[in-house]
Amino acid sequence: MREKIKNYVTGVWGIEILTLFILLVTLIIGYYQAFNAGSEEQVAATFDALFNKEKYIQSMIYYESKDISQYIYSNSNDLEDISAIKYENEYLSDNLHYYDEIFYVLINKETGDFTTNDVNLYRSVETYSDNVALLEDNINSYLKESGFYSIRLDNKEKYNYYVMSLSDKINMKNIDKYIEIYYKNPIAYSYLIKTESLSAKTMIVTTVIAAILFIKIIFNSIFNRNNIHLEIKVLKRLIFVLRYGYKYRNTRNKIIFSVGGAIGVILIYLYLVAGIRNQNLLVTFLTRYPFKGTLILVLIPLVCVLYSLKKSLDISIINDGLRKINSGDLEYTLNNTGEREVKELVENINQIKEGYKIALNEQVRNEKLKTELISNVSHDLKTPLTSIINYVNILNEPSITEEERKDYLMILDKNSKRLKTLIEDLFEASKLNSGKMKIEKQKLDIVSLVYQGVGEYSNLYEEKNIEFKVSSNEDEIILDLDGKLMSRVFENLIVNSLKYSLENTRVYIDIQSKENNVEISFKNISNYEMDFNTEDIFERFTRADKSRNSSVEGSGMGLAITKSIIELHNGKIKIEVEGDMFKIYLVIPKK
């Protein structure tokens, strides 16, 4: 999970870019409507509902006063005769809902007279013909005590919404004489304020998300260019289904069924549902926008069904791939493009195929090694055996001298011992590989074992003048080892170094004690061209010198035996070749 999160955070994804584009378009439209439209029409802005409720309510009162302003101006001939609306307004006030309707006050700046559609205001405020300011103060006190929100229009610098919205010029002769006050109970806007506040909060959260996405995309585009994935999986999968869905019977039937069902939904909706008229928001939307509603009702289930076909289509494609693999095309690899379960299935099939390829290649390799083994065993056993037979025949000749007889007996002794060594090595290697070998571990100093082996065998091949350099990061390294078997390991490696090293060179043996294991390396310069496979060299009767030159004695099983002994101690062995430098590493665990 952490890797998935890290991979997402440090990458750029196509769905993010699409999401950011949609968010930006939505935000631009939303902010334009929230600010630009509000400033042009001088109506309430969305963010005022969240940050300045009083301003929002006043803006709404200003906007909603248009109808009553139109009524007043029409009936009073643009405020020329306000008495024509006075009694009518008093009649209206008795029928108005206290919380839902807008009230007004018209104050004559010259006479101090006022008219209103609020009966309570008439009863509470007296007319002050000589002091308009005092009259306004009393009206404001009444509005404040009653909890009303109001707007004041002096008809000099600010006019009502009805006047401002008219395209034709209005007679301003009488309008300038009056002050207009419109007011309403703020409770009427509670639900609207909640809705607009939620819209404002949503826009803020959306802005933050868009900003984070934008920063993430820009940052990763600069610093993580290797982890950019512009494909959009949802769209890709839908296109995938539409492109290949008709190719397979299973998915083709579902597509036909889905399209038929979608057409049926359209017909049912157009002939039945479109006639329903309720106040339900969804039904209202569908009846007001029948084409858009139909499109939504059809597309949602259609997209869902097409998307659900992805797995069926994946299985059909997997079956096609399996047929190719079964026909013998082991190079064909199934594409891992499905859902999580399908991906696991594809991965497992590909792993099985790779395992089968490895097993097949291993079988071919084993057959080749068996052939080479028989050839090598025949060669290595036949050489001393033929020599023994030939010299036995010579010894039977009565004409040979006593000196010749002694020389031939020495050769026979040498070849018979060589034949014995080959047979013993073969049996030992077979015993080690059979798993029947029991090791007897004891506490031993591996550094001493190495020095002991060098001391015993370094004098062989004196004519080659090979020098051993042993180094260790600790003077003593105690491990649980089978001393006899490990001595055989170092004997094989030291003797091999002597056999195959270039004359007048050094063999470097490095012993490193680490936290959990001990690593021992042997490095020497080879006296022949090394063109062998480092894995095959561990096989029985395989020698680095492919010519199997008889001047270099060896059974070809030394490294095979060494590898088996190291593995019995739960260790590992590996060979590296660098030019003429031959390196072999032993890794032995401490526990």
DSSP notation for 400-451: --HHHHHHHHHHHHHHHHHHHHHHHHHHHHHHHHHT-PPP--EEEEHHHHHH
Residue among 510, 404, 541, 387 nearest 447 (CA) = 510
Per-residue burial over 551-587, b if 16 or more Cβ lie within 10 Å, else e, is: eeebbbbbbbbbbbbbebbebebebebeeeebebebb
Q: What is the pLDDT along the chain (591 residues), one digit of tens a residue?
A: 788 888 888 888 888 888 899 999 988 888 887 776 544 445 567 888 888 899 899 989 998 899 899 888 888 888 888 877 754 444 444 444 456 688 999 988 888 888 888 888 888 877 655 678 888 888 999 999 888 999 999 988 888 888 888 877 777 788 888 999 999 999 988 888 888 888 889 899 999 999 999 999 999 888 888 888 877 777 777 777 777 777 777 677 777 877 887 788 777 766 655 555 444 455 566 666 666 667 776 777 777 777 667 667 777 777 777 777 777 777 777 776 666 667 777 777 777 777 777 777 777 766 765 665 566 666 667 777 887 888 788 888 888 888 888 888 888 888 788 778 777 766 766 666 666 667 888 999 999 999 998 988 888 888 889 999 999 999 999 999 988 888 888 988 998 889 889 999 999 999 999 989 999 999 999 888 777 666 656 654 454 454 444 444 555 677 888 888 888 888 999 988 888 899 999 999 987
Residues 6+ apart with CB under 8 A from 302: 258, 259, 262
Give the single-character DSSP code of 79: T
356-436 and 438-589 share one CATH topology?
no
CATH 3.30.70.120 fits 438-589, yes or no: no
How many helices and strands (H and E) does the chain possess?
20, 13
CATH 1.10.287.130 fits 356-436, yes or no: yes
Q: Where are the domains of the chain?
A: 29-193, 233-326, 356-436, 438-589
Pairwise CA distance, residues 531 & 548, whole Å: 14
